[in-house]
Amino acid sequence: MSNHSERPAHTNPDWTIDQGWADYTETEHQTWDTLYERLMAVLPGRAAPEFLHGLEALNLNRGGIPNFEEISDELEQLTGWRVVAVPGLVPDDVFFEHLANRRFPAGSFIRKPEQLDYIQEPDVFHDVFGHVPMLTDPVFANYMEAYGKGGLRSLRHASLKNLAALYWYTVEFGLIKTDQGLRIYGAGIVSSPAESRFCLEDPSPNRIGFDLERLMRTDYRIDDFQQTYFVIDSYEDLFRATVDTDFAPFYAQMLGKFDLKPEDVLDSDTVLTKGTQAYANRGGRFAA
Ligand code: HBI
Ligand code: FE
């Protein structure tokens, strides 16, 4: 979470900047294309149909880093969302304010060629390729707005960690049940070829049915594959759970409850897969 940063002098009061599309170099556009090709070798049959449709609807395969104005004009017609450029992570209140107003803040920089597989800060590839296609789905688009509004309300309660877990386990690392099997809709997964395979096919992680309170009590790893993925039945369920929950009493009751470890499995869970945790137990990304 990023609460204490000073706003850089070159940003607008809402932390947006000009994307500076004309200034991207050939190498930077090439990095987008390389990442795009790698993902498209993996995502058909693994990503949610809504994600794949979104990529097409926004023409994200046209080659090179997309121009935010162009894709925003398309996206706005579909669901009323726009993509705005920011320098990187923005403070929570700023982030929520954008989402609550159907603006998705996307980093405008792109990772260096030597960082193709992993970066900590969200760049234009993660933010636009990962997040923006799902915003073409009307129900998911409503969920993201509801999340932003919930976030603004929650700033008055001391439970941002719980809300951040909701974002993490749905928007970033969510799976959905379909008639063809589990599919990925989380942006953190679809922007990683390795995790796209791992989350569906590896025996290590748990796959557990979505339960709002359970999930919001669960800690998570920010630097490696997840130990648990939560599976929704529909975007409607996600939206309803978020809108219908009166977060104030919910938080009061949950206050200080951030007590579940990433790998925990409870008797009350709907378990689709109980993971072996073999990957995490041998040291994960940092294994020798
Ligand atoms: N800023 N640009 C950007 N992207 C994020 O995903 C983001 C952020 N600021 C705060 C934040 N996420 C999270 O702390 C909230 O979802 C809780
Ligand atoms: Fe993200």
Tokens representing residue 234 in the block: 């529909």
pLDDT at site 69? 98
Cβ of residue 95 lying under 6 Å from some atom of ligand 1: yes
Instruction: Tell me if 2 is assigned to some domain.
Output: no
- Asked whether the predicted pLDDT for residue 2 surpasses 60, the reply is no
Instruction: Tell me if 1 is assigned to some domain.
Output: no
For the chain, give the mean pLDDT. 93
Instruction: Tell me if 94 is assigned to some domain.
Output: yes
Instruction: Tell me if 287 is assigned to some domain.
Output: no
Instruction: Output the domain CATH number for residue 227.
Output: 1.10.800.10
- Pocket test of ligand 1: the residue of 89, 98, 258 to mutate, having most ligand atoms within 8 Å of its CB, is 89
Distance CA(105)–CA(130), nearest Å, equals 13
The bound ligand whose nearest atom lies closest to the alpha carbon of 171 is 2
Maximal C-alpha separation, the chain? 55
Which atom from ligand 1 is nearest to the alpha carbon of 168? 16
pLDDT at site 6? 87
Cβ of residue 220 lying under 6 Å from some atom of ligand 1: no
- Which range (27-31, 115-119, 261-265) has the least confidence? 115-119
Cβ of residue 90 lying under 6 Å from some atom of ligand 1: yes
| Residue whose CA is at the smallest distance from ligand 1 atom 11 | 92
The pairs formed by 170-174 with CB atoms below 8 angstroms and a separation of 24 or more are 170/143, 170/210, 170/215, 170/230, 170/232, 170/238, 171/131, 171/144, 171/147, 173/199, 173/220, 173/226, 173/229, 173/230, 174/229, 174/230, 174/231, 174/232, 174/238
- Which range (71-80, 102-111, 153-162, 211-220) has the least confidence? 153-162
Cβ of residue 52 lying under 6 Å from some atom of ligand 1: no
- Asked whether the predicted pLDDT for residue 33 surpasses 70, the reply is yes
Range of the domain at 161: 21-281
